[in-house]
Structure 1
């Protein structure tokens, strides 16, 4: 079984992704609006906090306030910090700081634990707000989108895959009006899509991984992808003389 989330494309390099991240933050600072980052609670939020801390320490983060507004993400972040010894050691400055918690790495970070803390962010401008869910299908991010999408100075940074049918996908596709929490909201905010943070492999990586087993003549079944992505990956692997099929819902395969 081979996943195919990004079977039809490759990711931008991390360097290009970080450049776009910086540019989005700088554009939001110039306009004075908030930066909303829908984020998965485990893994993605911590990646974003790492890079915001790196930008802050390097003088590249114009915003002066960062909020994590997700009880699950807050708890997960604290668990990460409590196991600081397990991090890679390619950034010694981070390793030293994280032993004392995320605020030691990013001093302008605040946690919005309660509902009241979250609601208070409706009055905030010029901040970075990280909230779940990552696909905007639930969680506190929907409230922030409701109160900020209609503002031209708002910037929304999409850092993860957005499947069809999700609110996040509609934002990526450029919809101009949305129904959120019972209200019709005009979308005047600028939407940025960062591909380089994804934990899913791009097409070249998927092909490279599959070719490592080519000598065993496997039967490859593609799963976890939209039809276009699966078809593209299937075609690419068949060019390499591999036997590839697209798994379908409800199908049974004898192994």
Structure 2
């Protein structure tokens, strides 16, 4: 790297909280070597701003792919070739967002539904972890469901609480596996589920101080997260499915894990 390149890299105004946007772009495009991708995912789990930006990139990519599919079925298009520039620097990308529509964009300001206040940090972290890890096809989890006993034992030890993995089979979701994540004041666990169409849900679990135990929802773009606190543990179920269905699943999960959701229904 030349001195000029190093200078541009260090002072790049587009950098996301110290993370190189080229690396984030390569992550979205699945172009990073195995070791670099694992290290970057670990850093993203600790960097909400960068994780939100990656979620936005993925939504942007999906929007462009959708536009490409639509174009393939429409009249022939005129393609103008221009000198290559990194896609994250192109001012014209803003137009792509407008054409793709708000349905493809992930809102980066979560909105609390029915809470009348600010969502707890663990619920925000759960939503970000969902956005970061569920798009992964090759490495969505650290420990696969085939090693469920080991997964539960390992995460229980790290969180210093006995954990269990609720079954979502009756809703058509099977366990993919899980991973260890950094929480606000200690470790957190994420369990991932998937249905036959490839849609995914995640259950985020972490220790949390005593507080209100109300069952609440907040949305971030097309993602929804129901969260609650039970016995000094915070739980958050995240997914892109309808609010009613996710609520039903979350209530069953809460009950299976020893909570008392009957007063919230």
Q: TM-score, normalised by structure 2?
A: 0.21
